[in-house]
Chains A and B, each alone.
Chain A
Amino acid sequence: KAGVTQTPRYLIKTRGQQVTLSCSPISGHRSVSWYQQTPGQGLQFLFEYFSETQRNKGNFPGRFSGRQFSNSRSEMNVSTLELGDSALYLCASSLAQGSSPLHFGNGTRLTVT
């Protein structure tokens, strides 16, 4: 069974631009979560989607948004990029919302210059 796939693996953008990251969950998984990982802040929760609905949201500004499609694939968008948005963005999928363990992709490394 294929794992969680995130595209692209690397991105370089300039301040003020916007970016869209994509995540394909493990087949059969209906819940998708997004995390931001930085050396200083560790793993920070962004949002969780289940059945195309956002179920949980972290403490990030409105520039960060996401969505989930009917096939459970998910995208997250960051508008008006700032230098501090440089991070590894991780997507994780699980069978259902709640106690099912999260399975992570290898992430998208975003660098904002």
Chain B
Amino acid sequence: GEDVEQSLFLSVREGDSSVINCTYTDSSSTYLYWYKQEPGAGLQLLTYIFSNMDMKQDQRLTVLLNKKDKHLSLRIADTQTGDSAIYFCAEREGSYIPTFGRGTSLIVHP
């Protein structure tokens, strides 16, 4: 099956940019998603991109897709303490079961 890999931790200072990285293995047409999970809550959909796109921007969030390297990144500009959470990358091809990464814990220091 497909594999989605993420680094486990990222620590940044408040006001800096955060970049969370993800690699995936599926080579077909696929949707790629970013979710945020705060303590005690479910996964909140942040943004998603189709595999024929290179970039998507939504306010402080920028998603970059490198199809050749199968590398996806989520950039959070002007990171705030409220951005501290676990961020999940996921991919889904058609009606196949989505594959989620293990999540990256983002810690924002004041």
Contacts of A99 in B (CB 8 A): 31, 92, 94
Cα distance A58–B98 in the bound complex, in angstroms: 11
A48 in the interface, Cβ–Cβ < 8 Å? yes
Contact digits for B60-99, partner A, Cβ 8 Å, 1 yes 0 no = 0000000000000000000000000000100010111110
Contacts of B94 in A (CB 8 A): 98-99
Contact digits for A88-113, partner B, Cβ 8 Å, 1 yes 0 no = 00101000011101111111000000
Q: Looking at the complex, which one of B45, B102, B103 makes contact with A102 (CB distance below 8 Å)?
A: B45
B43 in the interface, Cβ–Cβ < 8 Å? yes
Cβ–Cβ contact B88 & A58, under 8 A? no
Q: Looking at the complex, which one of A4, A6, A42, A48 makes contact with B97 (CB distance below 8 Å)?
A: A48
A-B interface pairs (CB < 8 A), number:
47
Closest chain B CB from A96 CB (angstroms): 9
A79 in the interface, Cβ–Cβ < 8 Å? no
Residue with the greatest number of chain A CB neighbours at <10 A, chosen from B41, B43, B44? B43
Interface residue tally for chain A (C-beta within 8 Å): 21
Interface magnitude class on chain B: 20 to 34
Cα distance A43–B35 in the bound complex, in angstroms: 12
Contacts of B88 in A (CB 8 A): 43
Contacts of B98 in A (CB 8 A): 45, 102
A55 in the interface, Cβ–Cβ < 8 Å? yes
Contact digits for B22-58, partner A, Cβ 8 Å, 1 yes 0 no = 0000000001010100001111110010000000000
A56 in the interface, Cβ–Cβ < 8 Å? yes
Using CB atoms, name the residue of chain B closest to A97.
B95
Contacts of A6 in B (CB 8 A): 42
Cα distance A66–B56 in the bound complex, in angstroms: 36
Closest chain B CB from A85 CB (angstroms): 19
Cα distance A90–B98 in the bound complex, in angstroms: 14
Cβ–Cβ contact B97 & A45, under 8 A? yes
Seen from chain A, the residues whose Cβ lies within 8 Å of a Cβ on chain B are 4, 6, 42-43, 45, 48, 55-56, 58, 90, 92, 97-99, 101-107
